[in-house]
Structure 1
Amino acid sequence: MTTDRLRNIPQGPLRLGKDPDTDPHYPGHGYRRTEFDDGIVFERDVAVELRDGTTIYVDVFRPADSGNYPVLLGWAPFGKHPHVDWDRDFPGADIPPGNSAEAAFEAVDPHVWVPWGYVVVNADPRGIRYSEGIAEFMTLQEGEDEYDLIEWLAVQPWSSGRVATTGVSYFAMSAYRAAELRPPHLTAVVLWEALTDFYRDVKLHGGIPSLTMSHGWMQMTSWSNTAVEDLEAAIREHPLYDDYWQRRVADLTRIEVPMLLVSSWANHGVHTRGTFEAWERISSKQKWLDANGRKEWEYFYSPESVARQRAFLDHFLHDRQTELAEWAPVRLEVRESLHRSSVRWEQEYPLARTEFRPYHLDADSGRLSPQPPSDVATVTYPADTGHALFDLPFDTDTEIVGPAALRLWIEAVGSDDADLFVGLRKFDAEGHEVNFKYIGFSNEGIVALGWLRVSHRELDPERSTPARPYPRHASEQRLYQRGPVYVEVPILDSGTLFEKGSRLQLEIAGHDIVQGAGMFPRHSETRNKGLHVIHTGPQRQSSLLLPIVREGS
């Protein structure tokens, strides 16, 4: 590779790539053509030249029969070849059986989609594996690169000129940067669990660094013959929301392409916040939302979801009459327990009939009440290991669907900062905790999560609403004086039914509330020491704002 291919060197920390040929799952580099018995032609490592002369490599699966077919593009930095053993790497993911050996991690299965009249293309982006350049993540450069590939795919002899992007997580995230540039031949997008903001969604929850998951992610994305952006190092070098993080956020209002958005109540700490933000901010006139409580990979590969993806894509890429015409804008799943839920169609999200109702914390009784307590009280816990609990019993069936927010008077004793971890739990009428699916591979989830570093409590007045506080993360306001300060903690969207006799429990803690290993949102380094003191009472009204959608049967 000539040196001019490296002239666009990204700003910020870089990580030297790991030799792709040392990856035991890597099939080796070089063009090869294979024809499968089911009538699929597979071309590996097809070279594509981008606008600046950089060459990247893609894998192409297409029908052996001559013709012009729409293209499904997958763009992510993990490697376009299959390299994940689901049972070994993500036990508990519950992937439905049947994926072929050619199905890449988080991508569509070519042996499913090519027989339906599609070309499936997976790319190694700039700087990944043998593709030239230095890998960048969610930048304008990456958007331009994907734009160039979309337009290249549209003019290939086997292409109909219609291209859609699809896939889970980064395969969906990358579509933001391409779609905001409006490539002429981008026809539709399947956005399956797609964070919009690295800082807020996954790297620094509420300003609190999430290093463990970032480390695992960098291990998966560092296979390169050159170098990749080091987002793990960037967490330490850029603890505030500065230009480094801002330039990785697409202008969602510029996105006009038809879009199917899928987000789970189970993906707090990764994709939930961003996907719902995209739903509210994109300018697409044709858009549908699937808000569910499932594990992201299990749901993506399930037969019911594949059928809905096909209905959407067949409509826009094949001009076929499908069930899409019968869809309402929102498909909503409300959880009851780990394996029990109800599904219905709605016209909007958040639901217009939602009543955002405050429930006041009482430090004396440990209860949540519609009325503020008449007496001043405090509850204290060890800042690094303790927690405070507040209960809200329900005397009628109550649906809670949407974002929530905690308004809190908090004091840190023995520290100039405080990291707050907030959780909402469900307990049944017998007092047993009810768990839900979480992330892509856990059954130990709770109703909802929220985070905030108290020194990051300043809100953006233009973006904040009572139900969605929006911290700036632009500066720190340390706690140099004794006494409580007022904070608003955003709690991510959820959809849960609380039956008569059940109760909601608010937990405020100084540590992670949901525990797990591997690629799990964890926060091993906090600023918590000394004591946290929660203040409640008439002058300092701490409250939990809940989205009440329905009461009664």
Structure 2
Amino acid sequence: MADVTDTAELVVENDVMVPMRDGVRLRTDIFRPAGPGPFPVLLQRYPYTPRDGISAMFAKIIARQGYAVIVQSCRGRFGSEGEFYPLVPDVEDGYDAVEWAGTQPWSTGRVGMWGMSYSGFSQWAAAIARPPHLTALAPFTCGWDWSDSTWYYAPGVLHLGLTLSWSGLMTTEEADRRGIPSPLPGFAAGGRLMDEGGLGDPEKQAELLRLEMAETRGMLDRRPLRDAAELRDLAPWFRDHCDHDDGNDPYWRRISAAAHADSIDLPVFHLAGWYDFFAKGNLDVYTTLAHHGATERTRETQRLVVGPWNHNCAQIRPDADQNAGMFVDFGPDAPVMRFFAHHLKGELPDYQREEPPVRLYVMGDNVWREEREWPLARTRWTPYYLRTDGVRSLSTRAPGDEEPDRYVYDPSDPVPGSLRTGATYGDPVDLDAVAGRPDVLVYSTPPLEAEIEVTGPVTLELWASSSVENTDFTAKLIDVFPDGAAVPVCQGVVRTGHGVTEPRTPGTPYRYEISLWSTSTVFKAGHRVRLDISSSEFPTYDLNPNTGERITHATTDRTVPAQQRVYHDELRPSRLVLPVIPR
């Protein structure tokens, strides 16, 4: 039976069991203004603990603005019936939840969805099914395709630390639900901290993240990794994610809103962070719908906000302005609530004309700026060529006759990386130590005489060869401060043997286009622009053993060293293409 609390401001109904089409009931909390209504509805669906009070806190803030707010636990999670599996049931469950919300006596029938991370992905799952009452979306820090820049950082390259740690995190509730001990006690201890509001307490959050990192790193040497015993029964999707490395596989297409873009006709408020590990997917969604949306209404009603945050809503740069704001802002004047006031309540009649389509935070300058489009129309795509003339450098002058740079990539001694990109979980990497490794090529400008703004997608056009058929090349853009501090900006990777129709010929140069994702930052005068090139970043990316196998499926830890060459001559001009904005 639902627990109902009636106050002068709000009616709160906890543990309402909402039926889905197959009879499974999902635990749901409802927060709505006191009084008969009706009210527009904002629905959040997520698989994490409701016991920390964070979602309830935001729900009450929103409900006091005249909305009925629904917070629902996904199938098989925290009191909801059924079995949990990422996103697959969220297509139909999302449809059913939206239609239930749209037909309640206190509902106007206009239903929006809101939330970050998985709660954003679940919005896109519901949008695939096109529930009639769904009116607008506000997905924060997420993409719409789990096979692209999500579980797979790049085609064929598993975002290993992220997917492994997230799967481990999800085992805790499943073990509790089954009444069995957790095979990952560090994650279980972290789950208890989350129940105690650990995500809102810096000291508890630090301990939570320490526990998660230690437990995840303990699984990295399992072979084959897809069969890690700790995940086999409680997180079976990890094996499935490892098995399906092709983004065009029907396994991914069924839950990919990107595959249904032509049928999505909704206003969407997109919120991203430059250092979020889902940033590329976030920006790809906006670009697709704003430029190629199904209708004129779709194209005109997209809004994008990109801030300096990582996935934790934190800033990581030494020059960060802590007054830049938080993306979890649901006050009446917050951009997302203005969006909902217009699309769900019919308020702010001049919203479409007055509200900028794009709002970006420019790091370095530490300012918010309004724009009309993304990428910016005034961009000057500026090549910085890789050069070696005594020292390795980045230069706007094209190369002439130069010898390639060489290094040996030994997978048994990979370049260290954080669990997730964006320095998101207090897992720093010493970039100075990385630069001193013999398997890392460092190219840099001299100290800049004038500042350079880089806002937009960053690409490396790399000419390279390898002594093996299938290897990796990684790239990382870095801002080097005058005091020598090296601050990561954005990064990318390519797996040379993935998706090719003919095997790569060892020793033959090929041209690779590596997306380093996007940024908006100003390299100040006196700073240096640095590019690191290597062939691994572990466990950020899954390790390429150079054998033609993947560590997710290999039964042994056999690896093969590879002789790598990077070319930068007149015929094979490797270059970093920066989106420079005139100042």
Cα distance in 2 between the residues matched to 1:113 and 1:291: 22
8 Å contact 2:466–2:506 — kept in the other structure? no
Moved more, 60-69 or 298-307: 298-307
Deviation at 1:146, TM superposition (A): 0.6
Rounded Cα–Cα distance in structure 2 between residues aligned with 1:203 and 1:496: 26
Q: Distance in 2 between matches of 1:150 and 1:313?
A: 16
Matched residue, 1:535: 567
User: Comparing 538-547 with 45-54, which one deviates more in the overlay?
Assistant: 45-54
**Closer/same/farther in 2, CA of residues 455 and 114 from structure 1, 3 Å limit:** same
Residue 392 of structure 1 corresponds to which residue in structure 2? 445
**Hey, what's the Cα distance between the residues in 2 that align with 1:303 and 1:181?**
27
Q: 1:315 is matched with which residue?
A: 342
Stretch deviating more after TM superposition (321-330 or 194-203): 321-330
Number of residue pairs the alignment of both structures matches: 458
What is the SS of the residue equivalent to 1:447?
strand
Pairing 1:52–2:22 present: yes
Does 2:400 align with 1:346? no
Cα 1:388–1:48 change in 2 (3 A) is same
Q: Does 1:273 align with 2:221?
A: no
- Asked if structure 2 preserves the Cα contact closer than 8 Å seen for 1:63 and 1:117, the reply is yes
Q: Which of 289, 293, 296 pairs up with 2:308?
A: 293
Compute the RMSD of aligned alpha carbons.
2.6
What secondary structure is seen at the aligned counterpart in 2 of 1:301? coil
- Residues 502, 319 of structure 1: alpha-carbon distance in 2 compared, 3 angstrom cutoff: same
Q: Of Structure 1 and Structure 2, which has the larger fraction of its residues in helix?
A: 2
1:244 aligns with 2:251: yes
- Secondary structure of the 1:112 match is helix
TM-score by length of structure 2 reads 0.73
Could you tell me whether the CA contact under 8 Å between 1:71 and 1:164 is conserved in 2? yes
The answer (yes or no) to whether the contact 1:167–1:190 under 8 Å persists in 2 is yes
1:286 corresponds to which letter in structure 2?
A: T
In structure 2, distance between residues paired with 1:276 and 1:228: 32
Amino acid corresponding to residue 302 of structure 2 in structure 1? K
Between the aligned partners of 2:331 and 2:479, the Cα distance in structure 1 is 28
Q: Which residue of 2 aligns with 1:381?
A: 407
Match of 2:544 in 1: 526
Counterpart for residue 217 of structure 1: 166
Q: Give the gaps of 5 or more residues in structure 2.
A: 179-232, 314-325, 416-438, 547-560
Is the counterpart of residue 499 in structure 1 residue 499 in structure 2? Answer: no
Deviation string 1:275-311 (CA, Å, 9 cap, x unpaired) is: 1111011221311111221234532224779722221
TM-score (norm 1): 0.76
d(CA) in 1 for partners of 2:244 and 2:332? Answer: 38
Structure 2: distance between partners of 1:253 and 1:278? 12
Q: Percent identity?
A: 27
Q: Which among 461, 481, 486 is matched to residue 407 of structure 1? A: 461
> Does the residue aligned with 2:275 lie in a helix, a strand or coil?
coil
Asked if structure 1 preserves the Cα contact closer than 8 Å seen for 2:357 and 2:371, the reply is yes
Tell me how far apart the structure 2 counterparts of residues 243 and 70 of structure 1 sit (CA, whole Å): 36
The answer to whether the aligner puts 1:334 opposite 2:362 as a matched pair is yes
Deviations along 1:337-376, one digit per CA (max 9) or x if unpaired, are xxx5111111111111112122211134311222321122
Q: How does 1:359-374 map to 2 (within 5 A)?
A: 359-364=384-389, 365-374=391-400
* Contact persistence 2:168–2:235 (CA under 8 A): no
Asked whether the 8 Å contact 1:137–1:229 carries over to 2, the reply is: no
> 1:451 is matched by which residue type in structure 2?
V
Check conservation: 1:150, 1:185, Cα contact below 8 A.
Answer: yes
Aligned-pair distance for 1:409?
1.6
Give, in whole Å, the separation in 2 of the partners of 1:524 and 1:530: 17
Task: Tell me if structure 2 keeps the 8 A contact 1:154–1:163.
Answer: yes
Residues 430-467 of structure 1 deviation map (CA, whole Å, 9 limit, x = unaligned): 252353xxxxxxxxxx21111111112xxxxxxxxxxx
Give 1:423 shift.
0.6
Q: Distance in 1 between matches of 2:252 and 2:35?
A: 46
- Does the CA contact (< 8 Å) of 2:330 and 2:336 recur in 1? no
How far did 1:475 drift?
A: 4.9
Retained in 2: the 8 A contact 1:32–1:43? Answer: yes
Q: Does 2:464 match 1:432?
A: no
1:234 pairs, out of 216, 235, 240, with 240
Instruction: Report 1:7-22 matches (<5 A).
Output: none
Structure number with the bigger relative contact order (C-alpha 8 A, sep ≥ 6) is 1
